[in-house]
Amino acid sequence: MADLRNTFVGIKSPNPFWLASAPPTDKQYNVERAFKAGWGGVVWKTLGEEGPPVVNVNGPRYGAIWGADRRLLGLNNIELITDRPLQINLQEMKAVKMNWPDRALIASIMVPCEEDAWKAILPLVEETGADGIELNFGCPHGMSERGMGAAVGQVPEYVEMVVRWCKQYTRMPVITKLTPNVTDVRKPARAAKHGGTDAVSLINTINSIVSVDLDTFAPVPTVGGKGTHGGYCGPAVKPIALHMVAEIARDPETSGLPISGIGGITTWRDAAEFLALGAGNVQVCTAAMTYGFKIVEEMISGLSNWMDEKGHRTLDDITGRAVRNVTDWQFLNLEYISKARINQELCIKCGRCHIACEDTSHQAITKEKNGVRYFEVMDDECVGCNLCVNVCPVDDCITMEALPIGTVDERTGRVVTGQYANWTTHPNNPMRKGAVEPAE
Ligand SMILES: Cc1cc2nc3c(=O)[nH]c(=O)nc-3n(C[C@H](O)[C@H](O)[C@H](O)COP(=O)(O)O)c2cc1C
Ligand code: SF4
Ligand code: SF4
């Protein structure tokens, strides 16, 4: 049986599944039910400084996009940090930590970008017995207008400065939560590392307007006739999050820096992908908000079953395994040649592959033979792009097949060599290694 126990920056939890800082972690009642359901840890809903708490809108705070089956694909929110008094949150955190000593309890914090504000809150949090802190440099709305959240996370110098203060004023491990609303996520990650962070977590939510109400001509969610941009999350953001995690994992300046992976994780498979790309554990928000705390049961059993099947005994056997296979485009093998293959027994003759290939560019799939609908790939036109695989509604009906060494690619007339050659040395590349500079 696979061992799912996890240690992240020295913080132990029975499994790698933590709830991300958000409404599901905003009070003792919720967090204790989450722990009962099996979550390995939680990052408490972001705490603000002492004093009157922030005020949320009293109207809709969510917008969404759905798949054709009304399954939630992307969620957008305009919620702020906790709107409960700091002292109540601290008391409840302390009680939870006492009741559940084997689970990870992290305090997410966002206070003004001033040394005294951080210096003041850190001992209060430490006193609760929390295992660590997460610096919320990510929220893209509301708080950023007040100079916090993403307003800090978008400026590497500020990230480094605040991390440094936190490392100076607390013994608790520091996890720096990054905003995806930047051009190059490696820059704030490097800054956090320079400041001494123990880890980074990502992603927070993405700036977004999910839709416009065409009766009122106002963005959704609409509050009193107006809308604003919100933070986007859920399954739709997973690809963006995976890329950002991979960028940090393979950056020589941050490689080895522990990463807590967040963004659209809904199933054990999503989680395994984040781990493979270098995350040391994962955090979940939208999936718990959509399906409830019990989804963790399937995440745990699914991950464990898959690990057993594949012979992975501990999480270390998976973590970072895919990082070495992430490369830059210029290093992809241009001698690798594949063609699409259609399984005629599975084909329902819907024609989607034909029209996609025909109208996209390649005209490589037939639509009839002897007057009847018939879909077959023409190797002399197929560039191996796999668009047809992605549009076909039948699982495994179209597959991609690598041409064996020694065969001729009917499209180019070239023999498949099985060798490796990339753009850096390609004759068409004017910048290729050893290329002769064109005469003036
Ligand atoms: C309603 C809502 C409130 C959130 N509040 C916070 C917050 O207070 N602090 C924070 O760091 N992240 C907050 N987040 C972001 C999540 O922690 C998480 O980073 C993001 O939703 C991506 O994960 P997901 O795709 O699993 O939802 C919030 C997200 C949602 C949907
Ligand atoms: S792989 Fe691309 S080019 Fe080949 S048949 Fe499919 S869609 Fe057409
Ligand atoms: S999309 Fe798939 S099912 Fe439809 S015609 Fe093409 S191969 Fe057949």
Q: What is the pLDDT of residues 200-247, one digit of tens each?
A: 999 999 999 999 999 999 999 999 999 999 999 999 999 999 999 999
Q: Looking at the structure, tell me whether residues 89 and 26 fall in a common domain.
A: yes
Ligand 2 atom at shortest distance from the alpha carbon of 383: 3
Residue 245 sits at the vertex; the CA angle it makes with 103 and 97, to the nearest 5 degrees, is 15
Mean pLDDT, all residues of the chain:
95
**pLDDT of 144 higher than 80:** no
Quick one: average pLDDT of 328-356?
97
- Domain span at residue 215 reads 6-325
Residue in 17, 18, 19, 21 to alter for ligand 1 test, most ligand atoms within 8 A of Cβ = 21
Ligand 3 atom at shortest distance from the alpha carbon of 391: 1
Q: What is the DSSP string of 179-216?
A: PS-SS-THHHHHHHHHHT-SEEEE--PEEE--EEETTT
Place of tokens 């259609």: 342
In 40-155, alpha helices (H):
86-99, 115-126, 150-153
- For residue 440, what pLDDT is reported? 53
- For residue 110, what pLDDT is reported? 95
CA of 46 relative to ligand 1 center, distance in Å: 10
Q: Looking at the structure, tell me whether residues 321 and 342 fall in a common domain.
A: no
**pLDDT of 308 higher than 60:** yes
CA of 406 relative to ligand 3 center, distance in Å: 30
| Residue 415 falls inside a structural domain | no
Q: Looking at the structure, tell me whether residues 383 and 285 fall in a common domain.
A: no
Q: Confidence class of residue 145 from pLDDT cuts 50, 70 and 90?
A: confident
Q: What b/e sequence results for 335-344 when a residue is b if at least 16 CB atoms lie within 10 Å of its CB, and e otherwise?
A: eebbbbbbee
Phi, psi of 177 (to 5 degrees): -90, 125
Q: Looking at the structure, tell me whether residues 362 and 398 fall in a common domain.
A: yes
Distance from C-alpha of 358 to C-alpha of 367, rounded to nearest angstrom? 10
Distance of CA 335 to the CA centre of its chain: 31
The residue type at 352:
R
Of residues 125, 109, 113, 111, the one with CA closest to residue 170: 125
Q: Looking at the structure, tell me whether residues 321 and 371 fall in a common domain.
A: no
Quick one: average pLDDT of 186-202?
98
Residue 362 sits at the vertex; the CA angle it makes with 357 and 365, to the nearest 5 degrees, is 50
Place of tokens 């898959």: 306
Which residue puts its alpha carbon closest to atom 14 of ligand 1?
22
Distance from C-alpha of 405 to C-alpha of 425, rounded to nearest angstrom? 21
Of residues 205, 211, 240, the one with CA closest to residue 64: 211
The CATH number that applies at residue 263 is: 3.20.20.70
Residue in 362, 390, 397 to alter for ligand 2 test, most ligand atoms within 8 A of Cβ = 362
| Residue 437 falls inside a structural domain | no
SS3 of residue 18 by DSSP: strand
Q: Indicate whether this model's pTM tops 0.85.
A: yes
Which among 325, 347, 363 is the end of a domain?
325
- For residue 439, what pLDDT is reported? 60
- For residue 22, what pLDDT is reported? 97
Q: Looking at the structure, tell me whether residues 297 and 174 fall in a common domain.
A: yes
CA of 151 relative to ligand 1 center, distance in Å: 16
SS3 of residue 336 by DSSP: coil
Domain count for the chain: 2
Q: Looking at the structure, tell me whether residues 95 and 233 fall in a common domain.
A: yes
Residue-wise pLDDT tens digits, 158-182 = 999 999 999 999 999 999 999 999 9
Q: Looking at the structure, tell me whether residues 197 and 287 fall in a common domain.
A: yes
**pLDDT of 149 higher than 80:** no
Q: Looking at the structure, tell me whether residues 164 and 246 fall in a common domain.
A: yes
**pLDDT of 437 higher than 90:** no
| Residue 252 falls inside a structural domain | yes
Distance from C-alpha of 257 to C-alpha of 280, rounded to nearest angstrom? 10
- 340 in contact with ligand 2, CB cutoff 6 A: yes
Which among 268, 292, 325 is the end of a domain?
325
- For residue 438, what pLDDT is reported? 54
* Helix H or strand E segment including 58: none
- 141 in contact with ligand 1, CB cutoff 6 A: no
Distance from C-alpha of 234 to C-alpha of 341, rounded to nearest angstrom? 33
Which residue puts its alpha carbon closest to atom 6 of ligand 2?
388
Contact between residue 385 and residue 397 where contact means Cβ atoms under 8 Å apart: no
**pLDDT of 142 higher than 90:** no
Residue 59 has which token pair?
């109207």
- For residue 152, what pLDDT is reported? 86
Residue 418 has which token pair?
């099985």
| Residue 333 falls inside a structural domain | no
Percent of the chain scored above 70 by pLDDT? 98
Residue 431 has which token pair?
């910048």
Residue 44 has which token pair?
């408490």
Distance from C-alpha of 380 to C-alpha of 46, rounded to nearest angstrom? 58
CA of 357 relative to ligand 2 center, distance in Å: 6
The residue type at 46:
T
| Residue 429 falls inside a structural domain | no
- For residue 151, what pLDDT is reported? 83
Q: Looking at the structure, tell me whether residues 288 and 344 fall in a common domain.
A: no
The CATH number that applies at residue 351 is: 3.30.70.20
Q: Residues with Cβ < 8 Å from 130, sequence gap 6 or more?
A: 44, 93, 97, 105, 106, 107, 172
What percentage of the chain's residues is helix, strand, coil (to nearest 5)?
30, 20, 45
Residue-wise pLDDT tens digits, 343-367 = 999 999 999 999 999 999 999 999 9
Question: Does 348 sit behind a cis peptide bond, omega within 30 degrees of 0 on the bond before it?
Answer: no
| Residue 214 falls inside a structural domain | yes
Q: Confidence class of residue 148 from pLDDT cuts 50, 70 and 90?
A: confident
